[in-house]
Chain A
Amino acid sequence: MSRVGSVISGARERLGWRKESAEAKEERFYRAGQWQLVWWRFRRHKLAQAAAVVLAIFYIIAAFAEFLSPHDPLYRYKQFAACPPTGIYMRDLSGRFRAPFVYQVVRTRDPETMRPIYKANAEVTAPIKLFVHGSRYRLWGLFDCDLHLFGTEDPETAPLFLLGTDSVGRDVLSRIFFGGRISLTVGLIGVAVSFVLGLILGGISGYFGGAIDEVIQRIIDVLISLPTIPLWMSLAAALPQNWPQLRIYFATTIILSILGWTGLARVVRGKLLSMREEDFVLAARLDGESEWRIITAYMLPGFASYIIVSLTGSLPGMILGETALSFLGIGLRPPTISWGVMLQDAQDIMAVAQLPWVLSPVAFVITAVLMFNFLGDGLRDAADPYAM
């Protein structure tokens, strides 16, 4: 059966190359560098590419959150607390089509429960405008600005809350945009720290072997076997409450990466061990290359793609970790905005039933994690360019 398989797959290859047309292409394949091959294989993964695009959009939103969000994420519209998502209309009372607009919002109270009820006042309309002047901000701490991509002229009477407001009147969408800045970068910085730790410890383990290897492997065994979230919780809870936001943020990412490096260390160690036996390493050694050069110039490029795959794979876990910790109130705390912090509002199911739109960060967390999983899967397949 294996031979039948090889006939078929051989035939497929031959045909595949013929479709690409000529020997020139085949030639190109044999001459292509590792990264080119990875790229070619990755391009065959439509799902992973789509995921990469979605993630790129997420990160662009996070980077330009000030400009893209219609409101100041910390500003409380006291008159619009717990306001449901604003309806967008294209047709006014007289039935005429117009550019998208919103109605003025008027608050009344339920006479029994005293809960606010928001009604649209169809008499007064406010068009949704692009590049409106709104709350002032300093983009990246450099440029003073008050331009927002979209919004209404007078948010105090006719506001645009695409995902509603929370219980104290902050715009949920703007908070999600700003929250993404924290939630999406926690993973990146955590991965960077994991990368350094994993490379160093995995390198030491794989290169020196022996007792050091044994000790590091046992530590990895323990760290891998521990339930991550309780450990993260315990470490995060030990952070002093009075630390400034930024320091808490960095401390949290470091806590998240304390467990993240283990996977990478295993990959690095395994690859180093197997590559030590490869002929090209022996050849380099016989050529009189220094050990350092053998590792950096000969061995590292051989598994750089695996490193990237391993790192992408640990990103979703870190994003979820931050969300869980902040959700429990032991990671980041208000006034820092992250998706997890936002979900603190959703802890009480009775409250959520009243304003379900505060659950919307859930959709963003899941989308981000799902996209990272797709991307990681595509990269994993692409990382092994010689496995046809």
Chain B
Amino acid sequence: MLGNSVLVEIKNLRTYFHLPEGTVRAVDGVDLTVRRGHTLGVVGESGCGKSVTALSLLRLVPSPGRIEGGEILFYRTVEEAGASSALTDVIDLAKLEPNGREMRSIRGNQISMVFQEPMSALIPVRTVGSQITEVITLHQKVSEAEAREIAADMLARVRLPKPRQALDDYPFQLSGGMRQRAVIAMALCCRPKLLIADEPTTALDVTTEAQILDLMRELQKEFGMAIMYITHNLGVIAEMAEMVAVMYLGKVVELTDVRTLFMSPLHPYTRALLKSIPQLTDAVTRGGKKPRLQTIEGMVPDPYSVLPGCTFHPRCPERIPDVCDRVEPGVSEVAPGHSVKCHLYSSP
């Protein structure tokens, strides 16, 4: 059933930061699957390990962070001329040298990433064009002039006005939204199989955000690439993702398709998250009376401590005493494609 449709499979990934004060288990046993051409959304509060998961995938975890274990299987396609079905070749990214030749040939080429702040994603002292063509000449056998053509074409596709002129502009001459378009163009110009988007619209205003999201979906269709969309914004998830993984403290607590997530969330944390978004309909149905937003009780615990049992139990309103604070719940598949890591749903 998996077969050809799987692009990336993360198995039991653990990425730890070894600090003098203790070890932060930023990613602690994550399992995720990204399908070709599909979008996987990853949601969670800041510090839940979603960004570190993405960085682990690209092997860009900053020191003193390290991948301690697990697999990141990347199903590369080796296109053969005339063959009707492309061959796939599996490679475990977690085993590669982070700065080795092979990893670098994947980075920016087959897997690329768009970061949160378009303001600082480009260096101010080099032209937009030189920063884009750099990726193209690095991964493709083209001349500088051809690379410029590709870059201009890509800038046109992300609907940057006057793309040719923009090549010679410096980043500070573009607006925030324009810059993010340029950054997306930069990520896409090698036609990656997977685009990791780490809150690419958080720093933008709402209208620009909507434009960028539309653009990304269009380009996804056009290029047939998969997207791993990381955000804390459930509204964006609803718009972008097909499958959603909810992360809490370095672990995936619930994984399901986007409809089920909003219609029948299971994990207490997911439900709490959903209650914490303001909804227009609430205000309307309650006759203009503003309902109080619910917050999740308590704080994210100290990242150095290793909690026994379920990591969410100190904040969980439905915790089962003597179970949740002692035994770590396993992952139970409650329905096909819907799994949850919670004692409430574990089959005895």
Chains A and B bind each other: yes
Residues of chain A whose beta carbon lies under 8 Å from any beta carbon of chain B = 1-8, 10-12, 14-16, 18
Residues 1 to 46 of chain B near chain A (Cβ within 8 Å): 17, 19, 21-22, 24, 26, 46
Complexed CA–CA distance, A180 and B125 (Å): 50
Q: In the complex the two chains form, is A11's CB within 8 Å of B304's CB?
A: yes
Query: Contact between A18 and B26 (Cβ–Cβ < 8 Å)?
Result: no
In the complex, the answer to whether B302 meets A1 with C-beta atoms within 8 Å is no
Decide if B112 is an interface residue (CB 8 Å cutoff).
no
Q: Establish whether residues B302 and A4, one from each chain, have CB atoms under 8 Å apart when the complex forms.
A: no
| B183 vs chain A, min Cβ distance (A) | 15
Count of A-B residue pairs with CB < 8 Å? 40
Which residue, of A6, A8, A18, has the highest number of chain B Cβ atoms within 10 A?
A8
Residue of B21, B24, B26, B117 most packed against chain A (CB within 10 A): B21
Q: How far is the CA of A5 from the CA of B47 in the complex (A)?
A: 10
Instruction: Answer whether A8 and B52 are a contact pair too, CB < 8 Å, given A15-B302, A15-B304.
Output: no
By the criterion CB–CB under 8 Å, are B22 and A8 in contact?
A: no
Q: CB-nearest residue of chain B relative to A12?
A: B21
Q: Which 3 residue pairs spanning A and B have beta carbons closest together?
A: A7-B47, A11-B303, A15-B21
Q: Apart from A4-B51, A4-B55, A11-B302, what 8 extra A-B contacts exist at CB < 8 Å?
A: A7-B24, A7-B26, A11-B21, A11-B24, A12-B19, A12-B21, A16-B21, A18-B302
Q: Write out the residue numbers on chain B whose beta carbons fall within 8 Å of the beta carbon of A11.
A: 19, 21, 24, 302-304
Task: Report the minimal beta-carbon distance from B247 to chain A, rounded to whole angstroms.
Answer: 13
Interface size classification for chain B: 10 to 19
CB distance A3 to B116 under 8 Å? yes
Any chain A CB within 8 A of the CB of B65? yes
Chain B residues near A10: list those with CB within 8 A: 47
Q: Which residues of A contact B51 (CB under 8 A)?
A: 3-4
The interface residues of chain A lying within 8 Å CB-to-CB of B65 are: 4
Tell me the B172-191 residues at the A interface (CB within 8 Å): none
B46 x A14 contact (CB < 8 A): no
Binding site for A on B (CB under 8 A): 17, 19, 21-22, 24, 26, 46-47, 51-52, 55, 62, 65, 116-117, 302-304
CA distance A2 to B199 in the complex (A): 13
Partner of B19, one of A1, A6, A8: A8
Residue contact A15 to B26, C-beta cutoff 8 Å: no
Query: Residues of B contacting A12 with CB < 8 Å?
Result: 19, 21
Tell me which of A1, A5, A7 contacts B303 (CB under 8 A): A7
The contact of B46 among A5, A7, A18, by CB within 8 Å, is A7
In whole Å, how far is B305's beta carbon from the nearest beta carbon of chain A?
Answer: 10
CB of A7 to closest CB in B, whole Å: 5
Identity of the chain A residue whose Cβ is nearest the Cβ of B198 in the assembled complex: A3
B62, A4: Cβ atoms closer than 8 Å = yes
Chain A residue contacts of B24, Cβ below 8 A:
7-8, 11
Closest chain A residue to B24, Cβ basis = A11
How far, in angstroms, from A219 to B302 measured CA to CA in the complex? 54
Given the complex, which residues of A lie within 8 Å of B21, measured CB to CB? Answer: 11-12, 15-16
Q: Which of chain A's residues has its CB closest to B199's CB?
A: A3
- B194: min CB distance to chain A, Å: 20
Assess whether A14 is in contact with B26, with CB atoms less than 8 Å apart. no
Contact A15 B22 (CB under 8 A): yes
Complex CA distance for A15 and B62, rounded to whole angstroms: 21
17 contacts between A and B (CB under 8 A): A1-B62, A2-B117, A3-B116, A4-B17, A4-B51, A5-B62, A7-B24, A7-B26, A8-B19, A11-B19, A11-B21, A11-B304, A12-B19, A12-B21, A14-B302, A15-B302, A15-B304
B26 touches A4 (CB 8 A): yes
- Hey, which chain A residues are within 8 Å of B46, CB to CB? 3, 6-7
